[in-house]
Amino acid sequence: MNHMKILATLVFSSLTSVAFANDISGTWKNIDDKTGSSKAILEIRQESNGTYTAQVVKVTPRPGYTPKEICVKCPAPYTNKPILGMDILKGLKHVEGPNYANGKIIDPLSGHIYSMKAKLSANGKRLTLRGYVGVSALGRSQTWIKND
């Protein structure tokens, strides 16, 4: 009987640690795949339906670049909305292990909306996002780094 209790405790604690290890909620710094500079600080939150949403909480100034404040080329409901405070990622869902899928992400600089998937690194500190139209092979990747 004691062996069953110990086994049950071990199984429950391992399942709990896996669930926490795959939670991507928190504050992240996105890194521009072209320049290597941070473009913004984003906060990822888990919605009541289990999907994840990311909001721009700070636009990071970069040398030689004046950040846009308004999403001018964006489709409705984003048209002429402030980039700061905008939900740029929606619907991302944990699918298996470190993998997430079925999200949509908007590039507020171009106004394009992309399908996306993501993968969390083993240490939980890097989230690699892949935005694409149609098939993933024709997309572009970006890394977000967890802020502690």
Q: Supply the pTM of this predicted model.
A: 0.81
Q: Are 63 and 103 in contact (CB under 8 A)?
A: no
Give the H/E segment covering residue 15: helix 2-21
Q: Write the CB contacts of 50 (distance below 8 Å, at least 6 apart in sequence).
A: 93, 94
- Residue 21's pLDDT is 54
**Surface-to-core class of residue 139, CB atoms within 10 Å of its CB (0-12 exposed, 13-18 middle, 19+ buried):** middle
Q: Are 93 and 51 in contact (CB under 8 A)?
A: yes
Please give the chain's pLDDT, 148 residues, in tens: 554 444 344 344 333 334 445 789 999 999 877 778 888 999 999 999 999 999 999 998 777 777 789 998 999 999 999 999 999 999 999 999 999 999 999 998 889 999 999 999 999 999 999 999 988 888 889 999 999 7
Instruction: State the pairing for strand pair 26-31/70-71.
Output: unpaired
- Residue 22's pLDDT is 76
- Residue 9's pLDDT is 41
